[in-house]
Amino acid sequence: MGEKIFFNRTELLDLIKKAEKRVRVLGAVSFDLPYDEYREDWYERINKGELQVEIICESESDLTYSSLISTNKKVSGQERSYDIGSFMRIKNEPKIKIRDYLVNKQCKHIEPKGDIKERKDEEQCFSLRTCYWRIPVPVIHIDNDYYYTLSLTKFNEQEIFEKVTKENARYDEFQKYFYAYFDAELGAKKYSSEITTKDNRTEIILMYNDKRHCLGQLPRTSFQDITKAKVVIWGMVFTRDGRVVIHKRGANAKDNRDMWDKSIGGHVDMEKDTVDTVKAASREMLEEFFKKEAEEQGEHTKIGISEINENVPIYLGEWRQEMRQVLPFKEIKNNKDDIYVFRMNYEFSKHVVDSPRILVGGQESPVKCFADMYVFIMNEDFNDKKLENSSYKLIELYELYDYYLGEKIEYYSKEKKKNVTELFKATPDLKKIITGELWAELNTFAEYLKEGLTKK
């Protein structure tokens, strides 16, 4: 008799139990494993560093598309419907039944290497990821052997599993597939988010085409290697006398090191923010300027900001020059303790812009984005000297332009703890603001700000 190639579910589950060194699962919903039967044995062996277990789950967006046929019995021909809720329950079980179990028992070897502080020399033996690549072929890797199944309409009752041998007509293609999803650093791992002890995950943001049509979701870190765009916040923070705050990125920043940047910037968080970016802009400003003070219940206005609350800045709609006569400068002037924010230039936000990152070695990493621009008017008692997260400079817009043209900038360096004079280096984003269509509008805004709030 030749080598056994096809296995039923009972036989496959038995092979998993007998695994000597490694079990890797690609497509948790597709296999719907009985984790309760494995977890005690897995805990003992993972804790000793003797067994590696890796589970790569489907993303919710992937399961949503996959469930469209399964939710319709007339179309799928199934005895019952399988909606997204059924799939999400199965997807969550690896965390509930395995990850939480290992964490509660203080199992070793379960943290990503980058997060380990006390045990940097220990190898990670358990990982749980959500993959934002499609998983066309679910696979289980047991020691040196790979077994695959096909996910058609009903994901949780797979009964036929084929072992991939060299006699398989697609053996070479399967080897490339296994490598891309299980092992390649720039493969599925890069497009996955991994859970940690504190339930932290890589930030997931939406991906867009050049017409700002949403295409799906990807981890934040993956956007440096793709041609699709993301939505970001650009913010310029003004004091009530019309000056603007810029900040210098640190010498240890992951990109754009030692370069001067706009007041604030950030990504739109799928979990924290609404579809509109107003709350995202306010949250970014509060986090970047006041995060440390907020954690310590610090006072930066008379009312104080005891937590990051995106409703603290009062949103006043779009800044439009033709509406300047009715803008509420009188109300802003009378409310000295409040922070206000305008959205600027919707038309600018409709077009994708290049927002490259200068990496540590000096090479440029291309990034595409849609930038929603906001301008903030800070409270009257705002003091840039109290900002701790970076080195800041409060200047007139014409001074910023002079710096860009080559004039040296003098500022107090938080890193060096002394005054420094040096050549001004702007980030690519700040260059686009200074040299693009937004510059004239920012100057007009600053002039009306001065006239409306400082004029007797």
Is the pLDDT score of 115 beyond 50? Answer: no
| Alpha carbons 82 and 73: distance in angstroms, whole number | 9
Return the pLDDT at 288. Answer: 86
Return the pLDDT at 310. Answer: 62
pTM of the entire structure?
Answer: 0.77
Query: Can you say whether the dihedral through the CA atoms of 139, 89, 72, 270 is positive or negative?
Result: negative
Using CB atoms within 10 A of its CB, is residue 371 exposed (0-12), middle (13-18) or buried (19+)?
buried
Is the pLDDT score of 57 beyond 50? Answer: yes
Return the pLDDT at 92. Answer: 93
Return the pLDDT at 119. Answer: 42
Q: Report the 10 Å Cβ neighbour count for 428.
A: 17
399 contacts: CB under 8 Å, gap ≥ 6: none
The pLDDT of 229-242, averaged and rounded, is 95
Q: Report the 10 Å Cβ neighbour count for 292.
A: 13
Beta bridge partners of 233: 266, 372
The helix (run of H) or strand (run of E) holding residue 148 is: strand 145-148
**Bigger pLDDT: 373 vs 306:** 373
The pLDDT of 260-268, averaged and rounded, is 92
The pLDDT of 251-276, averaged and rounded, is 82
pLDDT tier at 159, thresholds 50, 70, 90: confident
**Bigger pLDDT: 143 vs 361:** 143
H-type alpha helices, 354-437: 397-404, 428-435
Is the pLDDT score of 368 beyond 80? Answer: yes
By percentage, how much of the chain surpasses pLDDT 70?
Answer: 88
**Distances from the Cα of 122 to the Cαs of 68, 112, 113, 211, 228, in angstroms?**
43, 10, 8, 46, 37
The pLDDT of 128-136, averaged and rounded, is 91
Query: Can you say whether the dihedral through the CA atoms of 107, 143, 26, 113 is positive or negative?
Result: positive
| Alpha carbons 200 and 115: distance in angstroms, whole number | 10
Residue type, 425: K
Question: Are 202 and 267 in contact, with CB atoms under 8 Å apart?
Answer: no
In this structure, the dihedral spanned by the alpha carbons of residues 424, 429, 435 and 437, taken in order and rounded to 10 degrees, is: -150
Is the pLDDT score of 303 beyond 50? Answer: no
**Bigger pLDDT: 204 vs 335:** 335
Question: Are 174 and 168 in contact, with CB atoms under 8 Å apart?
Answer: yes
The pLDDT of 203-232, averaged and rounded, is 85
Report the chain's terminal Cα–Cα distance, integer Å.
Answer: 98
Beta bridge partners of 206: 217
In this structure, of 82-86, 101-105, 289-293, the range with the lowest mean pLDDT score is: 289-293
- Average pLDDT value for the chain: 86
Return the pLDDT at 211. Answer: 92
Per-residue pLDDT reduced to its tens digit, 8-32? 999 999 999 999 999 999 999 989 9
Return the pLDDT at 83. Answer: 77
The pLDDT of 333-353, averaged and rounded, is 92
159 contacts: CB under 8 Å, gap ≥ 6: 8, 9
**Bigger pLDDT: 186 vs 325:** 186
The pLDDT of 345-371, averaged and rounded, is 91
β-pairing, 409-413 vs 139-142, is unpaired
CA 365 to mean position of chain CA atoms: 17
Which range among 180-189, 290-299, 416-425 has the greatest average pLDDT?
Answer: 416-425
Residue type, 227: T
Return the pLDDT at 301. Answer: 41
Q: Report the 10 Å Cβ neighbour count for 18.
A: 9
DSSP 374: E
Is the pLDDT score of 275 beyond 70? Answer: no
What is residue 187's three-state secondary structure?
coil
Return the pLDDT at 128. Answer: 93
Return the pLDDT at 114. Answer: 55
In this structure, the dihedral spanned by the alpha carbons of residues 403, 408, 413 and 415, taken in order and rounded to 10 degrees, is: 100
pLDDT tier at 325, thresholds 50, 70, 90: low
Is the pLDDT score of 300 beyond 70? Answer: no
Is the pLDDT score of 384 beyond 50? Answer: yes
Question: Are 221 and 267 in contact, with CB atoms under 8 Å apart?
Answer: no
